[in-house]
Structure 1
Amino acid sequence: MAEKSNNFSKFLVIWLGEFISSIGSGLTAFALGVYVFQTTGSAAAVSLTTLFAFLPTIMLNPVGGVLADRYDRRLMMICGDLFSAFGLVYMLICFQTGGLGTLQIYIGVTISAVFVALLEPAYKATITDLLTPEEFSKASSLMQLAASSKYLLSPVLGGLLLSITDVGTILIIDISTIITTVIIVAFIRKSLPAETKQKEKLQLLKDMKEGWDVVTGDRGVLAIVVLISVSTFYLGLLQTLISPMILSFSNSKALGMVETISATGMLLGSFIIGIRPLKRYASTMSTGFTLAGVFMAFLGTTINLILITAAGFLFFCTLPYINTSADVMVRCRIPNELQGRAWGLISILSQIGYILAYACAGILADNIFNPMLIEGGLLSGSTGRLIGVGPGRGIGFMLVISGVLVALLGFFMRSVKIIQGMEPAVNTRYSEHKQMPQKQSAKKGA
């Protein structure tokens, strides 16, 4: 029991470091999004910034997963965080010299994203290193809480900072949070086990194939990954276009407040799961998707900031339930020694939807949907009567369509027997783990 508590304490130290880093990353993402939109007026430019910040990490996650299974996972986390600062330093230099354009931003966020690929699989695999299956749900909710800090704290801080300072200051703050995180993880690393190191020669393609076999060989895991990938396309549209939609009729300070208050929904959901862990994962995930779709659709129907914030809050409330359910059902099906490469592959497969959304969201908004809902536009006399016409209303219509499709996806999940059948496997894994200490005690007594 003491060892179990001690390991969870070590995990909390690592989590604290990533929480701090996430706040810094969120500040930079918010500031760059506002900066790009205000200097270009283009939703496409904003979505391209998001794409370049996301695509390298997703494409290289399988490689990072293989390395996380071969080498010290905490060292991988330190290297990933530290080297990701190179891209921030590059953008800071460009800004100070007056040369920070969209091209320089694309290059800077790409450099950072390449090294984040080393961090994420190692971070996820560390949970399985340190914790018991009974603690997976609580740890997953804490990880989501740390990740949500970029939506919870960073937007309001970013909005306030941009009203009194500039992008350069925010880049400096982000670099400082990375340094703090590296120091925290390095401090705790000596007391953490480094047990995943396989001694045979590194064979990248072979190891990646092993991860592929683990994921595709389990029909339940593969089904969850495919469904999540479909949903991330619509979630990616929301993530990319909410800023241009609000900035089209308001300012960056209001945007920061809306995003921060909305994201407290994720804080509430994560907190509830932390004190009352989930028991029915499959049904929770499908219900979460249905409700998330309803709230997303409502969010696109109005330009009233209070109603947008309320819909956003309820939308974010559902995310911890969706993510925790999927995380635990998948985690309990994968052997610990293959966790890194499996999560690396799952990252790229489950988030292909994000890549597609980031690539096309701005183009669809600027060239198709927004023109249809301006005065005299194709849908101004029909759909426009329901959700309004003017700047950003085409983006609102995109969110309505996306929300309806996400809600339908949630209903569809209830009929997928493969996913529903994973529930007993989770319970079995928990029961087996509870019996292990008794077996070990019996051996010691013998």
Structure 2
Amino acid sequence: MWVLLRDRRFQAFWLGQATSVVGVGVTVVALPGLLLAHRAGTDFAYVLAAEAGTGAFFTILGGVFADRYSRSLLMAASDVLCVAGITAYLLLGADGPLWSLLLAAAVIGVGVGLYQPAHRAAMPQIVSGELLERANALDSATKRIGMAAGSALGGVLVATAGAEVALIVNVATYVVSLLTLLFLRLPAVTGSPGGGIGSVFAEARDGVRIVLRNRWATAIMLQGTIQVFFLFAPNYVLTAIVAVERYPKGAYGWITTAGFVGALVGSLIAGRIRTKRPGVVAMNAMAPCALLPVCLVWDVPLWVFCAIAFVAWAGISTFFVFWLSGLSRAFPPEVHGRVFGIEHLLTFCLDPVAKAVIPAVALGVGMGVFGIVAAVVLLVSTYAVLLVPGAVTLSNPPESARPSAVPTTAH
């Protein structure tokens, strides 16, 4: 890790994103503190939906832009959009019309959609070779620590100074991130783009085609879609329900904290693993997640639930370190933006639907039935992808041609 942190470019990238993610953690606590103090809960739900919807749509376009333009400047533009949206929350959150808050949420959603693929595509542009796993591990660990620290800081600020001050702190973190990105100034990976909006959508379609030609990558992306829908998204809601019904007050906080710590440990350990079969390591790391729905079914002691959350999230972080590094190596730099945009969209496209629908289904059919189905789905989908050529090594098989470029699109 110290080798990475001695690199001035990585220093700037890491410092800016570490500061920014702390701000995001602050907003997770501050925004409901601001809106729910003055508005109905439905308004808060509409705001979250507006941000999630625009973020999902612009992830694909953000991938195209990340392949066309400087990824650091695109992330800087995302910071500017987020600052504008949060400032609107500050000015209009208490008594502004609902449409203005929805517009502010949409602006932030656009910023998030632009940021996600650019951030992931920028990493292999800054760090290459065997240090890529360690860079992804440090990035993942930083996000876990930053979100936990930001949430704690947000809680303290809301309780002592108010939600408005907490959001102002978040704006300051985006300014720090913006300055580091302007210092970094990564060059664009392709030549000067041409064409209008039609060519943008054409390049998005080309990105989808090049991902679909890579069978192992497509299979693992679809695996993520299935697992988020059946396990991870509903588990987020159901764990909170079970914790309130079964354990003493504050139990959900302990379970969540155990997951945060496990994710941090998993990220740091994954950065030190060297293997010729990263796909097998990644899937084995995911397997303990099947124990999460078991904890929803049986009345296990709280310490057991926390221990399983620790192991499960350590495995999830380990998986993502190898998965993101494998994607970076399997596709050429000029399509990284679109690849990571498609990966993010496919993985989380059903997240809001699952959070809304699956918990009601689980309570309707019974937690026991849901838990068994969820555990089986996770285990089957985790190991079934290893049957796809290339999934064991997270790389293209020798007999398959490496996707070398996006099909030419007329501008």
TM class by smaller structure: 0.7 to 0.9
Look up the SS of the partner of 1:422 in the other structure.
coil
Which residue does 2:266 correspond to in 1? 269
Deviates more, 1:85-94 or 1:418-427: 418-427
Which residue does 1:409 correspond to in 2? 378
Q: Label 1:425 to 1:183 Cα distance change in 2 as closer, same or farther (>3 A).
A: closer
Which residue does 1:24 correspond to in 2? 23
* Contact 2:279/2:393 (<8 A) preserved: no
CA distance in structure 2 between the aligned counterparts of 1:261 and 1:160, rounded to whole angstroms: 20
Deviates more, 1:234-243 or 1:265-274: 234-243
Q: Label 1:277 to 1:142 Cα distance change in 2 as closer, same or farther (>3 A).
A: farther
Q: CA deviation at 1:150?
A: 4.9
Which residue does 2:409 correspond to in 1? none
* Contact 1:47/1:358 (<8 A) preserved: no
Q: Deviations over 1:102-130 (max 9, x none)?
A: 87655433321111222221111112222
* Contact 1:265/1:316 (<8 A) preserved: yes
Kindly report which structure 2 residues correspond to 1:78-117, keeping only aligned pairs within 5 A, or say none: 78-95=76-93, 98-99=94-95, 106-117=102-113
RMSD (Å) for aligned C-alpha atoms: 3.7
CA distance in structure 2 between the aligned counterparts of 1:242 and 1:352, rounded to whole angstroms: 21
What one-letter code is carried by the residue in structure 2 that aligns with 1:197? T
* Contact 2:22/2:146 (<8 A) preserved: yes
What one-letter code is carried by the residue in structure 2 that aligns with 1:31? A
Q: CA deviation at 1:243?
A: 5.5
Count of aligned pairs: 392
**Which of 191, 203, 206 is matched with 1:198 structurally?**
191
* Contact 1:65/1:122 (<8 A) preserved: yes
What one-letter code is carried by the residue in structure 1 that aligns with 2:189? T
Which residue does 1:349 correspond to in 2? 346
Q: Deviations over 1:377-434 (max 9, x none)?
A: xx9xxx7xxxxxxxxxxxxx49x936851554234432334446333463989xxxxx
* Contact 1:68/1:76 (<8 A) preserved: yes
What one-letter code is carried by the residue in structure 2 that aligns with 1:13? A
Q: Label 1:200 to 1:336 Cα distance change in 2 as closer, same or farther (>3 A).
A: same
TM-score by length of structure 1 reads 0.75
- Structure 2: gaps (5+ residues): 399-411
**Which of 130, 147, 170 is matched with 1:174 structurally?**
170
What one-letter code is carried by the residue in structure 2 that aligns with 1:188? L
Q: CA deviation at 1:34?
A: 6.2
Q: Deviations over 1:81-114 (max 9, x none)?
A: 121111111111124xx32798765543332111
What one-letter code is carried by the residue in structure 2 that aligns with 1:81? D
Q: Are 1:132 and 2:131 matched, yes or no?
A: no
Q: Are 1:281 and 2:273 matched, yes or no?
A: no
* Contact 2:67/2:190 (<8 A) preserved: yes
Which residue does 1:339 correspond to in 2? 336
Deviates more, 1:19-28 or 1:290-299: 290-299
What one-letter code is carried by the residue in structure 2 that aligns with 1:144? S
Which residue does 1:162 correspond to in 2? 158
What one-letter code is carried by the residue in structure 2 that aligns with 1:108? A
Larger radius of gyration: 1
* Contact 2:215/2:389 (<8 A) preserved: no
Q: Label 1:151 to 1:110 Cα distance change in 2 as closer, same or farther (>3 A).
A: same
Q: Are 1:259 and 2:256 matched, yes or no?
A: yes
Q: Label 1:86 to 1:333 Cα distance change in 2 as closer, same or farther (>3 A).
A: same
Which residue does 1:388 correspond to in 2? none
What one-letter code is carried by the residue in structure 1 that aligns with 2:354? A
Q: CA deviation at 1:277?
A: 4.5
Look up the SS of the partner of 1:426 in the other structure.
coil
What one-letter code is carried by the residue in structure 1 that aligns with 2:316? L
- Structure 1: gaps (5+ residues): 373-378, 384-396, 430-446
What one-letter code is carried by the residue in structure 2 that aligns with 1:93? L
User: What's the % identity of the aligned pairs?
Assistant: 20
* Contact 1:23/1:153 (<8 A) preserved: yes
Look up the SS of the partner of 1:153 in the other structure.
helix
